[in-house]
């Protein structure tokens, strides 16, 4: 998930932005007006750091059981408020990596990038106090040149630029019963972390930010189950309890990693892309996909004098698609000596973090470990477990948020190198965001990362003796407008 998060940690409140509100019917009472460039000084039990400053898919109306103050106006009983929020990025990027200059060609080190997101949705409150709503997130697809569109000339780039759905869910909430989300939505890990303990609250969101001008193969994996597409891109049930003395709990279930209406022709020819509901398959690689995923977790938010504390943890488990094809290793690919057999272990992942805030400075970090690989996939049998940790610090003062974070990710990586080599990745982020005016932000960011796996060629994305270690860096200057 890649986001521009502009608030400080949950322990000190969130910076709010401007929002336009449309109402489908006249509310019975005036809506609470959002405030511009205001820092909420309420304790963490009543505040929330929300992605993209709140007027996005995850807002202060749908991210916790109780209504919270924030960028999105709270609906009142009898109202049905329709919203169409959005954001536009413009960035000037300077990039460098092992893949910028090869025998096949050379990539220019500088580029100008633009990016659009739309957030259509509504929030309502019934006369009996039931809160409900629907929310979607629509994003722009990237098209590099006219040759990919089937058109000639400059218009080919724009005519090939399409929109796609990133989130789409409904929610129901009652203060004494909790909040239920159903659909293509964030997991409880993503909701509880919310970018706070993984330090996605400044610049573009670190290595999970959007957009990224680096070649895809050299970009460091962002492995955490928080605010990234592999975590919120599939449909699930998510329940959050009411808060008691600063504590709340969450539960989640997803039958598979599908995210829309689909029908499978017949299982014998199905693949994950055409049949997310597979439970077994003869196709190599299908076993990496989780099935019947479940999760449970708890969170605490509290203040102790001038100190704010934010602590949370979750456990995620699942089954996997059962691979029933041949186990002959040469047929499954990989060099001699690999022990990959096409089968994968069930997901079993612990993830948690903590953040401590005092005088605008937040210290913290998170750890995630267990049976997983890549971006939320299952790990191959006999392969290395996934282990990732991140630590960071950030400072918030009025309209300014600056910070830095560093993480390390150890995983199996290429499954056809199981028993031969493992993958190691590091990512550094240094940056800041400044709220220039209501709805207008400027940001600067420096990213540095490395990827290494023996016998894997990162430039060509295939097994090989060359380019086993990749180094990439990127400097970004940009602006963002929100409405």
Q: Which of 9-23, 138-152, 245-259, 270-284 has the lowest mean pLDDT?
A: 9-23
**Residue pLDDT, tens place only, 433-442:** 999 998 899 9
Q: Specify which of 150-154, 265-269, 271-275, 382-386 reaches the highest per-range mean pLDDT.
A: 382-386
Higher pLDDT, 131 or 279: 131
pLDDT for the residue numbered 269: 60
**Residue pLDDT, tens place only, 99-122:** 888 767 888 889 898 889 999 999
Structure token digits, residue 126? 């019934």
Q: Specify which of 77-81, 137-141, 328-332, 345-349 reaches the highest per-range mean pLDDT.
A: 345-349
Name the phi and psi angles at 464, rounded to 5. 170, 165
What is the length of the chain?
A: 483
pLDDT confidence band for 158 (50 / 70 / 90): low
pLDDT for the residue numbered 211: 78
Q: Is the pLDDT of residue 33 over 80?
A: no
pLDDT for the residue numbered 143: 62
Averaged over 243-249, what is the pLDDT?
94
pLDDT for the residue numbered 281: 86
Q: Which of 243, 229, 279 is nearest to 57 (CA)?
A: 229
C-alpha pair distances (Å), 332 with each of 121, 325, 327, 335? 45, 10, 7, 10
- Please work out, in degrees rounded to the nearest 5, the angle formed at the alpha carbon of residue 436 by the alpha carbons of 434 and 441: 60
pTM: 0.86
Q: Which of 419, 408, 396, 416 is nearest to 366 (CA)?
A: 408
Q: Which of 21-35, 64-78, 104-118, 150-164 has the lowest mean pLDDT?
A: 21-35
Contact 158, 287 (CB under 8 A): no
Which residues have C-beta within 8 Å of that of residue 328, sequence separation ≥ 6? none
Contact 1, 187 (CB under 8 A): no
pLDDT for the residue numbered 106: 84
Q: Is the pLDDT of residue 44 over 60?
A: no
Helix (H, G, I), strand (E, B) or coil at 201: coil
Which residues have C-beta within 8 Å of that of residue 148, sequence separation ≥ 6? 160
Residues of the chain with pLDDT > 70, as a percent, come to: 82
Averaged over 167-184, what is the pLDDT?
95
Structure token digits, residue 105? 């060609």
Assess whether the previous peptide bond of 211 is cis (omega < 30° from 0): yes
Residues of the chain with pLDDT > 90, as a percent, come to: 57
What are 125's strand-pairing partners? 131
Contact 9, 362 (CB under 8 A): yes
Averaged over 16-22, what is the pLDDT?
30
Averaged over 54-83, what is the pLDDT?
86
Averaged over 449-461, what is the pLDDT?
95
Output the CA torsion 34→35→41→44 (10° steps).
30
Higher pLDDT, 360 or 142: 360
Averaged over 396-408, what is the pLDDT?
95
Q: Which of 177, 63, 164, 62 is nearest to 122 (CA)?
A: 62
Q: Which domains does the chain have, with CATH numbers?
A: 83-115+178-482 (2.40.160)
Distance CA 423, CA 453 (A): 5
Contact 467, 459 (CB under 8 A): yes
Structure token digits, residue 195? 């970018």
Q: Which of 317, 270, 315, 320 is nearest to 290 (CA)?
A: 320
pLDDT for the residue numbered 156: 61
Distance CA 348, CA 225 (A): 13
Distance CA 18, CA 111 (A): 30
Structure token digits, residue 463? 């097994």
Distance CA 19, CA 50 (A): 15
pLDDT confidence band for 47 (50 / 70 / 90): very low
Distance CA 355, CA 360 (A): 12
Structure token digits, residue 329? 């290793």
pLDDT for the residue numbered 49: 40
Q: Give the position of tokens 């400072």.
A: 395
**Residue pLDDT, tens place only, 249-291:** 999 999 988 887 766 777 666 566 678 888 888 888 888 889 9
Distance CA 297, CA 280 (A): 29
Helical spans, DSSP H, in 257-390: 329-332
Averaged over 414-432, what is the pLDDT?
96
Distance of CA 251 to the CA centre of its chain: 19
Higher pLDDT, 82 or 102: 82
What are 403's strand-pairing partners? 394, 431
Distance CA 291, CA 278 (A): 8
Q: Which of 29-33, 195-199, 338-342 has the lowest mean pLDDT?
A: 29-33
pLDDT for the residue numbered 334: 81
pLDDT confidence band for 153 (50 / 70 / 90): low
pLDDT for the residue numbered 43: 35
| Per-residue burial over 378-387, b = 16 or more CB atoms within 10 Å of its CB, e = otherwise | bbbbebbbbe
Q: Is the pLDDT of residue 353 over 70?
A: yes
Which residues have C-beta within 8 Å of that of residue 177, sequence separation ≥ 6? 242
Helix (H, G, I), strand (E, B) or coil at 398: coil
Helix (H, G, I), strand (E, B) or coil at 283: coil
Distance CA 132, CA 76 (A): 12
Higher pLDDT, 165 or 49: 165
**Residue pLDDT, tens place only, 217-228:** 899 999 999 999
């Amino acid at each position: 998930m890649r986001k521009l998060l502009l608030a400080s940690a949950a322990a000190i409140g969130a910076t709010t932005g401007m929002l336009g509100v449309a109402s489908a019917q006249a509310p019975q009472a005036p809506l609470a007006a959002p405030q511009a460039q205001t820092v909420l000084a309420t304790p963490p039990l009543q505040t929330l750091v929300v992605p993209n400053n709140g007027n996005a898919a995850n807002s202060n109306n749908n991210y916790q059981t109780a209504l919270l103050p924030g960028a999105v106006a709270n609906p009142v009983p009898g109202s049905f408020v329709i919203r169409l929020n959005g954001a536009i990025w413009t960035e000037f990027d300077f990039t460098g990596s092992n893949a910028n200059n090869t025998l096949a060609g050379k990539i220019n080190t500088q580029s100008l990038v633009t990016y659009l997101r739309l957030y259509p949705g509504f929030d309502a409150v019934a006369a009996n106090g039931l809160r409900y709503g629907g929310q979607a997130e629509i994003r722009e697809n990237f098209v590099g040149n006219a040759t990919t569109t089937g058109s000639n000339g400059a218009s080919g780039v724009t005519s090939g630029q399409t929109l796609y759905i990133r989130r789409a869910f409904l929610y129901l909430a009652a203060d004494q019963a909790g909040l239920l989300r159903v659909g293509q939505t964030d997991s409880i890990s993503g909701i509880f972390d919310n970018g706070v303990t993984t330090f996605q609250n400044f610049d573009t969101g670190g290595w999970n930010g959007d957009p990224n001008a680096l070649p895809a193969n050299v970009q460091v994996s962002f492995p955490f189950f928080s605010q990234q597409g592999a975590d919120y891109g599939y449909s699930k049930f998510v329940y959050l309890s009411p808060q008691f003395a600063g504590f709340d709990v969450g539960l989640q279930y997803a039958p598979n990693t599908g995210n829309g209406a689909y029908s499978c022709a017949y299982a014998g020819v199905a693949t994950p892309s055409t049949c997310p509901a597979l439970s077994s398959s003869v196709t190599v690689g299908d076993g990496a996909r989780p099935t019947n995923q479940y999760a449970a977790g708890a969170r605490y938010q509290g203040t102790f004098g001038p100190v704010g504390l934010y602590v949370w943890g979750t456990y995620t488990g699942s089954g996997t698609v059962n691979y029933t094809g041949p186990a002959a290793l040469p047929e499954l690919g990989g060099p001699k000596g690999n022990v990959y057999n096409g089968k994968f272990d069930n997901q079993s992942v612990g993830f948690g973090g903590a953040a401590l805030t005092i005088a605008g400075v937040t210290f913290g970090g998170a750890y995630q470990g267990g049976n997983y690989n890549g971006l939320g996939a299952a790990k191959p049998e006999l392969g290395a477990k996934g282990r990732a940790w991140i630590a960071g610090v950030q400072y918030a003062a009025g309209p300014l948020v600056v910070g830095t974070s560093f993480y390390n990710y150890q995983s199996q990586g290429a499954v056809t190198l199981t028993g031969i080599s493992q993958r190691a990745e590091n990512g550094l982020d240094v940056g800041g965001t400044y709220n220039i005016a209501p709805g207008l932000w400027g940001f600067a960011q420096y990213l540095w990362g490395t990827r290494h796996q023996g016998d894997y060629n990162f430039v060509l994305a295939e097994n090989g003796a060359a380019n086993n270690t990749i180094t990439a860096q990127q400097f970004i200057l940009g602006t963002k407008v929100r409405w």
